[in-house]
Structure 1
Amino acid sequence: MSTVGHPLRHENFQKAVGDLFWSGKDSDLTITCGPYIYKVHRFIICLQWHHLGVAISACFNKPGQWVLDLPNDHPPTIHRVLQYLYTQDYDDDGFEAEWVNPKEGMVYGPDRASERFQRCPIAIQVPQNNIQVYLTAEKYGIPSLMSLAAEKLGHWARVYRRSVAFIDILEDVLTLELGAKSELRGVLVDTSIDCIVELIERKKFLELTTQFPDFGSEVLATLVKTKLREQENKIREQGIKLREQENRLRKERRGRRGQKNKLHEQGNKLREQGLKPHEQRSSRREQMKGRRGRN
């Protein structure tokens, strides 16, 4: 059996499963959360939402009462969780998303001057939606959804890092005290470090580093590590350049030795050529002496 699938078939399958979420066709379970009612399918929900497996099984032990109520959860967030279970994605805007007011929708100008702003129509509810999805996925043990929510928040943070809203969202996440290993906290810390040159000039950001010492220490430690890494890279590059120079010098020395050897060989040849006439003269003298002796 071939292990290579056709992309179009996969897309069609995902669309078909996604349509089940919106249509509720052939549903065998109802999940309620506040005013929202969802007609869902056990085989899709239980395969991914293991935390609810026991509760759902308990529902089916009572004939005719195939309804699971989630009274303590945020209804729009449960909508996004269910949407993810069917489509492996969710909409973080459009569903109870609110646009920011003019003040929150301002970003600092290119010159980083705090008195100069530029209008920026961002939805402050978008990052908050992703935060709620992350917390709910953590509560119910859906790690893949946690990663997706953190990824979406990270994308928002990189795009709107210069907005006033970024500092507000950063403060909200730090207030949650999720821990240093939290993906959600990590994406905002990484964005803060990447944009530290811009953020360090903002009073509110500096206040956060003092208000949350762990965050301030992490930013400082990462900056120090980054600087050390940059210095190590520079030293490594300088070492490579020095080795290249040494190799060039060795080649030049070898070339000079080769030239000296050639000159030495040429000198030997010239000396040999210079001795031949002398040897000829010596042999002639000996011949002449021999003739005189015979006479």
Structure 2
Amino acid sequence: MSSEENPTAESLSSVLSPLLASGKYSDMKMLCGSRVFDAHINIVCSHSKEANERQVDLPENDPHAVGKMLDYLYTHQYDAEETGASLILHARLYVCGDKYDIPGLKSLSKQKYLEVLKTYYQHAVFGQSLGIIYYDSRDRIRILGMPQ
């Protein structure tokens, strides 16, 4: 059920989203490259079994993908333009969901990846997106529903 269909989720999202944007009352930091994200341990830890520290270093992750992952943790959604290049973002978010044990993010990024793929399957980054999924996720190529 999307937040549009669930007024409680939409209401909660409208409260939590500004907290992420402002960093107000944040009690944890997520470091990714040169970016520092202020976050709230109760929100992050409620989604991921992997997150239980006040400072999390994510050196191998793309900062843009980490920002979108945080958007998801706070709103159960993330936005992305529907372009061929977004295949890379959805693949990276799938890997983040896999790596940090966030099943909802894995599911949403898979759904968005497959939706974009319908139009952009011949885009130059399609192969690169498969490489990200194959080499960086624990499930390898299950995103496409293919057996291992």
- TM-score in terms of structure 1 length: 0.42
Partner residue, 2:120? 160
Give unmatched runs, 5+ long, in structure 2.
none
Aligned partners of 1:173 and 1:185 also within 8 Å: no
Tell me: CA distance 1:169–1:44, structure 2 relative to 1, closer, same or farther (3 Å): same
Deviations 1:18-52 (A, max 9, x none): 11111111111122211211111111011111112
Show the 5 A alignment for 1:48-63: 48-53=47-52, 56=53, 59=54
Q: 2:108 aligns with which of 144, 148, 152?
A: 148
Partner residue, 1:114? none
Please report the RMSD computed on the Cα atoms of aligned residues, expressed in angstroms: 2.8
Show the 5 A alignment for 1:241-256: none
Partner residue, 2:144? 185
3-state DSSP of counterpart to 2:25: coil
Q: Point out the structure with max Rg over C-alpha.
A: 1
Aligned residues: 140
Partner residue, 1:127? 87
How far 1:138 sits from its partner (Å)? 0.9
Distance 2:85 2:68 in 1: 14
Partner residue, 1:136? 96
Q: Which has the higher helix share?
A: 1
Partner residue, 2:41? 42
How far 1:179 sits from its partner (Å)? 4.5
- TM-score in terms of structure 2 length: 0.79
Give unmatched runs, 5+ long, in structure 1.
1-5, 60-66, 94-121, 190-213, 216-295
Task: Supply the AA of the counterpart residue of 1:85.
Answer: L
Partner residue, 2:15? 16
Partner residue, 2:126? 169
Tell me: CA distance 1:84–1:165, structure 2 relative to 1, closer, same or farther (3 Å): same
Task: Supply the AA of the counterpart residue of 1:76.
Answer: H
Partner residue, 1:27? 26
3-state DSSP of counterpart to 2:59: coil
Task: Supply the AA of the counterpart residue of 2:91.
Answer: I
Aligned partners of 2:83 and 2:120 also within 8 Å: no
Aligned partners of 2:83 and 2:116 also within 8 Å: no
3-state DSSP of counterpart to 1:123: coil
Task: Supply the AA of the counterpart residue of 1:11.
Answer: E
Runs of 4+ in 1 over 6 A off after TM superposition: none
Structure possessing the higher relative contact order (Cα contacts under 8 Å, 6 or more residues apart): 2
3-state DSSP of counterpart to 1:32: strand
